[in-house]
A and B are shown apart, each in its own frame.
Chain A
Amino acid sequence: MADPILELTDVQTHFPIYSGFVRKRLVGTVKAVDGVTLAVERGEVLGLVGESGCGKSTLARTIMQLVPLTGGTVVLNGKNLAANSATEMRETRRGMQMVFQDPYASLNPRMTVFATLAEPLLVHRVCPAAEVPARVARLMETVGLAPRFVQKYPHEFSGGQRQRIAIARALALEPKIIIADEPVSALDVSIQAQILNLLAQLCRSMGLSLIFIAHDLSVVKHISDRVAVMYLGKIVELGTAEDVIDRPRHPYTRALVSAIPTPNPDVERARQRLVLPGDPPSPIDPPAGCAFHPRCPYAQEKCKLAVPPLIADGPNREVACVRLGEI
């Protein structure tokens, strides 16, 4: 843990819920992200997995400062983002960029590829205006698009190509870290593989760090160095991709891994599946103690008493389960 590019300490993002039309009263809080501590190394790919509603996208938006932080600190490249002034923030944003899930919604349909890619260059005055066309062409080549398509509009491209444009836009400011929120979930299998290859190759060649958010564990395992598993706003397991996915320790991770269907009929039919009952609980009113205990097959009385902290389990491995040694 020598040189982290991004350090999160006890990050919390809570959303207040108001009731009443004229006189608004605070009736509760959605604890979307509730105490996440995490570090991302330079050049590292960190996979972030969890079910919908577990807070993984909110965490991404919190890091990007797209939603206000309730508590904790986000330190990018040695700088605490909360202490930044507006001018500093503008500079800081160059260092981190985001790629969104839906390439149909995240590109402006009225802007050509050129306009989309030139905008960040012009806003941040990265280079003289005369050099912009050449930079745009280079960006397009980087992501595997022919520069002759520069005057086309997003609707003229397929889903995979649009996601390439979104990646090029994120790369325009030469960031240190990219946060990709489910970048391949909307794409077909054969196109998914192309985008994954592109992301992996970019990380290697440019020394980029990447936070890769997905719900497909096999995709995450392929691309990530380390994986963090989230449940109801908290990280429940953290470790190398092989450890977490091939030898999961937390009961939730086990259930998640066991739920992935494998494309191998003999294995698939022979395996004992751990099917979790019910849906994830509401983050407005999380269960006492370990938030997973109502669905956990190993839950005991002591699981309901206190929130289990993340404890080290061997090198590079942290698990938040009080029954860790027993199961």
Chain B
Amino acid sequence: MPLLTVTDLRTWFHTRNGVYRAVDGISFGVERGETLGIVGESGSGKSVTCYSIMGLIPQPPGRIESGTAVFDGVDLLHCTPAQSRAIRGKRVAMIFQDPMTSLNPYLRISEQLIEPLRIHEKISRRDALTRALAMLEEVGINDAARRIHLYPHEFSGGMRQRVMIAMALITKPELLIADEPTTALDVTVQAQILELIKKMQRELGMAVIFITHDLGVVSGLCDRVQVMYAGRIVETSDTRTLFYSPKHPYTRALQRSIPSMQAKGTELFTIPGMPPDLSKPISGCAFAPRCEFAVERCHREIPHLEPVTPTHTQACLRVQAGEL
């Protein structure tokens, strides 16, 4: 029984310019203690998926058209506000891409750190502060006893992300959703933060959903990876299989366009064209217009995820027909 099971999730945005199908029918599960990577380009729906699970979609214009997200027996998309409060922020926590904008600039770090504890655990302020201090030390902030009373602007980008992580983990969640937590950071700081997430995961035994566009980050961190394109999952498997024997043409193209995978001085492989406009209905496979293997059938039939092996599924019609 997976910790989180998402089934047929559809999140659409109803805008003046039409219905934007940001997430269009995706299903996946996360096991306890597992790290799942969600990879895709901007606009592929990877963030909207997680925002939907966390109830952070602004409604309107957003609307969850269908689907369930069952976390330990409770459907997060259709539960009572009280049920949801007991889970979100306590048993499921989230960290965001930009640590500059996701901390409140008017509040001291100490206030922001103890807030989840005061809400979820009904403990005294003094006890909460002790826990907060221990947590700050845990995430590697030196001189935590002094720094806990500072404001966010007094911290560097990497330190703010550490504070965000401390805030998310202070209630010892079972699932952490990390939305591009290292994209805004330097590579050296990124390495520190990735090590920290791995360490905290080992200590707390939590599951992690890691959203990123960087295949390099995924390769070292994740147990399983799913690749999204235009609001759907196109391929999902364990990390090794995805890197060493990818099946879907989009996954392969994505991998081939990484500069370090290609000989220097050669023309870099590029995926022609641009991702589709999600406000227009897509007939057939969304990747077909950019796919070098597309045939007439790809523009007509909608592909569905089908297993290649029990742990590897993909959604390319031609691979499924054994043509590729």
Contacts and interface: CB of A to CB of B under 8 A. Distances in A.
B283 interface: no
A165 to B, nearest CB: 15
Interface stretch (A32-40, A101-109, A269-277): A269-277
B187 interface: yes
Interface stretch (B16-24, B76-84, B251-259): B251-259
A219 interface: yes
A4 B215 CA distance: 38
Contacts of B255: 263
B270 to A, nearest CB: 4
Nearest to B186: A51
26 contacts: A52-B157, A189-B257, A190-B270, A192-B259, A193-B257, A194-B268, A200-B267, A215-B187, A221-B260, A221-B264, A222-B264, A241-B264, A242-B264, A259-B187, A259-B188, A260-B187, A261-B190, A261-B194, A261-B219, A262-B219, A263-B255, A263-B261, A265-B239, A265-B243, A275-B188, A279-B156
Contacts of A115: none
Query: By CB atoms of chain B within 10 A, which of A52, A255, A264 has the most?
Result: A264
B189 interface: yes
A258 B188 CA distance: 9
B14 interface: no
Interface residues of A, number: 42
Interface in B153-208: 156-159, 186-192, 194-195
B220 interface: yes
A133 to B, nearest CB: 27
B217 interface: yes
Interface of A: 51-52, 158, 160, 188-194, 196-197, 200-201, 215-219, 221-222, 241-242, 255-256, 258-266, 268-269, 273, 275-277, 279
B8 interface: no
A261 B214 contact: yes
B267 A276 contact: no
A273 B191 contact: yes
Nearest to A160: B274
Interface of B: 41-42, 156-159, 186-192, 194-195, 213-220, 239-240, 243-244, 253-255, 257-262, 264, 267-271, 274
A215 B186 contact: yes
B259 A268 contact: no
Contacts of A260: 187, 216, 260
A268 B216 contact: yes
Nearest to B183: A185
Nearest to A265: B219
A264 B261 CA distance: 9
Given A276-B188, A279-B158, A262 B259 contact: no
Contacts of A216: 187
Contact of A265 (B42, B240, B274): B240
A215 B214 CA distance: 14
Contacts of B259: 192-193, 196, 218-219, 221-222
A52 B186 contact: yes
B83 to A, nearest CB: 37
Given A265-B219, A279-B159, A190 B254 contact: yes
Contacts of A263: 215-216, 218-219, 243, 255, 258, 260-261
Given A188-B42, A261-B219, A275 B191 contact: yes
Contact of A275 (B42, B156, B195, B274): B195
A263 B254 CA distance: 11
A214 B259 CA distance: 13
A241 B20 CA distance: 44
Given A215-B186, A279-B159, A197 B268 contact: yes
B139 to A, nearest CB: 14
Which residue of A160, A259, A277 has the most chain B CB atoms within 10 A of its CB atom? A259
A196 B268 contact: yes
Given A189-B41, A242-B264, A264 B158 contact: no
A198 B219 CA distance: 29
B253 A190 contact: yes
A188 B215 CA distance: 12
Contacts of B254: 189-190
Given A188-B213, A190-B254, A268-B220, 8 more contacts: A190-B41, A193-B259, A215-B186, A222-B264, A261-B220, A273-B191, A273-B195, A275-B192
Contacts of A262: 216, 219-220, 260
Contacts of A266: 240
Nearest to B259: A222
A158 B219 contact: no
B258 A189 contact: yes
A26 to B, nearest CB: 23
Contacts of A194: 268, 270
Contacts of B41: 188-190
Nearest to A189: B257
A215 B213 CA distance: 16
A158 B244 CA distance: 32
Contacts of A51: 186-189
B268 A276 contact: no
Contacts of B186: 51-52, 215
